[in-house]
Structures are given as structure tokens and as C-alpha cells.
Amino acid sequence: MRVLLTGANGYIGRRLKRVLKTVPEIQLRLMVRNAATLGAEAQGLEVVEASTFDPASLRRALAGVDVAYYLIHALASGPDFRQKDHLSAENFLQAAIECGVKRIIYLGGLGDKTNASEHLISRIETGEVLSSRPDQIQTLWFRAGVIIGSGSASFEIIRNLVQKLPVLITPKWVSTPAQPIGVGDVVRYLSEAATLPHGESEVIDIGTEAMSYGEIMLRAAKVMGLKRRLIAVPVLTPNLSSYWLTLFTPVPFTVAHSLIEGLSSPVLVQNDRAQALFGFSPQPYEAAVAKAIEEIEANQVISRWSDSDGAAWEKHQSADIADAILIDRRRMPLGELSAHQVYRSITSLGGDSGWFDYDWLWELSGAIDKLLGGYGTNRGRRDACDLRLGECLDFWRGGDLQPDVRLLLFAQMRLPGRAWLEFVIWEGELIQTAYFYPSGVLGRLYWYALLPAHFFIFRNLIKRIVERAAQMGKV
Ligand SMILES: NC(=O)c1ccc[n+]([C@@H]2O[C@H](COP(=O)([O-])OP(=O)(O)OC[C@H]3O[C@@H](n4cnc5c(N)ncnc54)[C@H](OP(=O)(O)O)[C@@H]3O)[C@@H](O)[C@H]2O)c1
């Protein structure tokens, strides 16, 4: 059976890929817009670069496929994401029918359109489009609510709020019921769906036991060994709550707002098809929380909500550091150190390790960025040392990675211009360059105002990278 996995570099896709490639009867093909973002994970697997907005590329991806997973959404692409999601699903369905695909498996969100966020409405519309030709193609439409797993946006919010705040001040939606589910179970349902006997199109709701959002937080606190109190305040509006989440958790305003919007209406399983079709039940909520925490503590997070950001990538591709007109370049001899040692030190920047002596200045910039609606620094990084192409690192994202030679980061902070930070290891030297392409006068003013701070920050950064490389020793 040939299986196409779209969204293979996304939160669910990366995890599902690991399971599908171990199923003997499945021949797996991955579909991504940029194959380089898969890095070593694509080894031994067939990869096709395609976009749902390019029907010819879709037909190439779907040729000879029996089962196709649809794990795509356009939320990060801007305010017209709903129209894009609609077109994306229509193109996919059309190409799948033309290519003789027998089954589409789609994961959307739980809940109905009444009081739903625009994101959820778009997820429902996507399911409706994909299921609209049951006479020609079978669609298994899974619907999940809050997904509990290391790196999922919902879990990162729960974890950060619970760990940082002894008293949780919440809006009144805290009593709304929901049925969360562990990411391991989501992946299990999705993977087993590929080999189900052929049948009708279905909507399959998945979730563990029902509980209020308040309970979701308090029970997670208990698993983490923390005692927390909830105070529900009726005056917290969706906007205020979203700012609150933006301040205390890694998610930016848009993601927080979309999640908050969906919290006012119940998110409950509405059918028992999962029980009828699969021979297992989801693990209890507490077990899913414990597993997520275990993965975070062991530095074994497979994927994060912020992994894929095609829109940021396209913006990055459309710009060239050669256009930058303001530059801060520094060099440092490597001495006895190998290129590999220095590269390891560079790729360990940010996240919990921070940015050396001027970490507080980076944090301050992060706080300002958050206030301006950006990502700030508390998005952190997935792994303490391993960095994939396109993956985020505080308010940066990896734009080019050449092991032991070059790391290029492009800035995702709200700036009056475009910024990059480059490290090149060349002929016994580390060359560190900050590039800036200012937008008009404001951009230039910004750069010159920060010159004194940059002097200290960048001088310290290169020196400490080399010092840390020596401390890390040879591996
Ligand atoms: N994560 C959750 O907590 C959760 C909860 C409930 C339901 N779900 C559902 O699960 C599904 C997958 O979600 P996710 O969290 O894994 O998403 P994600 O991490 O944001 O990944 C989205 C994927 O879509 C791809 N994509 C976007 N536009 C594309 C296009 N035009 N052509 C081809 N690929 C495109 C992205 O690739 P690029 O890198 O190229 O942009 C990325 O791989 C969604 O339907 C979502 O509603 C997720």
C-alpha cells in the first residue's frame, strides 16, 4: 500500500511519520513544500515537494497513492487563511480523485460551528470539502480537541501557566467541558486508519474522559507535583485573556486568540465511531500529561507547534542577506579547537542555555517583541543542541545549516527591517555577522540607536561561543 503523508514536517506529521515507516505493508511517501526542512528525518524515504496551491505538483505527489493523509492548514499564512484552507482542500480532493486515491485521512478539530473560532470553522469546512465526494473517494475525518503532547501549543500553554503562576486567574470559560487526548493516541488512531478494511466515509471523534478546562489545568498541576488555585474572573474578555497567554506562554497573540476563541463552547466527542472501529481506548489524561513532561525533561521532543512556518520560510527565501546594508562582523581564531566543537557551541545557542552575559538584553528585546505581538524569546527551542533547518530558536529561525561550516538564522521579531545572524567557520576562524536591511528611516534609526548595545552583545557572543566550545570538549 502506497501512503502519502502531507504536512510531514508539521506537529502531527513528524510523529505520524515515525510510526508509519515501521508498518511493513506501507510504502511511505512524504509531501512537504521544502524538503530541506526534513533534514535527516527523510533518510530512506521518498520525498515529494508539492503545494496544495500547485495542482500539477499535487498530482505528482498523489500518483500511485492508495491512502493520503491530509494534515495541512494555513493558519499562519495571514488573515485570508480560511479561503486558502478551502482552496487547498478542494485542490487536494480533486487531485486525489484524478489519481485514483482510495482513502483520504484527515485530522480536524472537535466542536461545531456555533461559537467556534475562525480556525475551527475553517477546519470543519476543510473536512466538509474533503468528504464531499463519498461516491468517488472514502474520507476518514478524525476530530480531536486539546491535544496533550510535548510541544503542542495547547499543552505548552497549560504547562507554562501552571508552572509559572501559583494562582491561575481565568475567564469564566474555565468551566466549559472538553475531552483532551494524548498525542500518542492521536497518532495511533491515524496510523491504524490506513489499514482499516474499506468502507464508507466517516467522521470519527476522539478524546479521553470529559473534564472542564479548569480541571485540565489543575489535574496537570497535580501530575507536575504542584498545588494550584483557580480564580475565575468574569471580566476577562477574549482579547485580555489572549494578551495574558501571550505574556506567560510561548504562543504569539494570533495562536493564543484562536485558542481562546474556541474555549467558550464545549468540545465534546459526539459519536462512538472510534470505539466501534479501533480495538483500543485512549490513555487517561494524567498518563498523557506525564508522558509529555517526561519527553520534555529527557530533551526528547519530536515536534513542536512552532516547527513549521511556511509563510516565514517564503519571506526568508524572498530576501537575500547580500541586500543588507548595515553589518556588524567579528572574527575569532579557533586555536586548537575543531570546526565541529565550535559548530556544536553555536547550535546550542538560545533556549534554556540563553545568550551568555547579555542574556538579560536578549530577554528584554524578547519582552518588547512580545508586547508588539511577536514571538519573543519564550518560544525557546525544541532540543538543547540539535537544530533543524526551518526550526525556531527563540525569536530566530534556522535559515541555513551546513554542519561544521555555517549557521544562518533569520529574525522573526517585529523589527523595522530584516535581520540575520550568521556564523561561518572558515580557515581556522569563526566569523560572526549580524546583517540588517532597514525599512526606511525608522530602520536606520533603530540600528544606530542599538549600536552601543550591539557592540557589547556581539563582542561577548563570539568570545563566549569559542570559550564554551573549549569547555564542551571533544565529542
Ligand atoms: N496540533 C494540535 O494540537 C491539533 C489539535 C487538533 C487538531 N489538529 C489538526 O491536525 C492537523 C495537523 O495539524 P498540525 O498541528 O500538525 O499542523 P502544523 O504543525 O501547523 O503543520 C501544518 C502543515 O501544513 C503544511 N502546509 C501548509 N500549507 C501547505 C500547502 N499549501 N501545501 C502543502 N503543505 C502545506 C505545512 O508545511 P510548511 O512547513 O511548508 O508550511 C505543515 O507541514 C490540522 O488539520 C489540525 O487542525 C491539530
For 277-336, the pLDDT digits (tens) are 999 999 999 999 999 999 999 989 999 988 877 777 777 777 788 889 999 999 999 999
Per-residue confidence (pLDDT) for residue 53, from 0 to 100: 96
Within a 10 A sphere around the Cβ of 299, how many other Cβ atoms? 13
Give the cell for residue 55: 495542482
Tell me how many helices (H) and strands (E) the chain has. 16, 19
Instruction: Give dist(CA 23, CA 71) in Å, integer.
Output: 19
* pLDDT exceeds 80 at position 189: yes
410-431, pLDDT tens digit by residue? 999 989 999 999 999 999 999 9
- DSSP bridge pairs for 407: 401, 423
pLDDT of res. 237: 82
The Å distance, Cα 115 to ligand 1 centre, comes to 23
Using pLDDT thresholds of 50, 70 and 90, give the confidence band for residue 263.
confident
Domains defined along the chain, listed by start: 2-297 (3.40.50.720), 310-472 (3.30.530)
List the residue whose alpha carbon is closest to atom 28 of ligand 1: 74
**Relative to the CA of 153, which ligand 1 atom is closest?**
3
pLDDT of residue 39: 81
Look at residue 475 in the predicted model and tell me its pLDDT.
60
Q: Could you report the per-residue pLDDT of 67-126, keeping only the tens digit for each?
A: 999 999 988 777 899 999 999 999 999 999 999 999 999 999 998 888 788 889 999 999
pLDDT in tens, 7-64: 999 999 999 999 999 999 999 999 999 888 888 888 999 999 999 999 999 999 999 9
pLDDT exceeding 70 applies to what percent of the chain?
A: 99
Question: What is the reported pLDDT for 76?
Answer: 76
pLDDT at 243: 84
Residues in the chain: 475
pLDDT beyond 70 at 155: yes
Which residue among 73, 120, 126, 303 is best mutated to probe the pocket of ligand 1, counting the most ligand atoms within 8 A of its Cβ? 73
Share of the chain above pLDDT 90, in %: 72
Query: Using an 8 Å Cβ cutoff, are 382 and 393 in contact?
Result: no
Please give the pLDDT value at position 474. Answer: 64
338-385 pLDDT per residue, tens? 999 999 999 999 998 999 999 999 989 988 888 887 888 878 899 988
Ligand 1 atom 46 nearest Cα: 108
Strands (E), 113-259: 138-144, 147-148, 167-170, 177-178, 181-182, 202-206, 211-212, 229-232
Q: What separation in Å is there between the alpha carbon of 313 and the centre of ligand 1?
A: 15
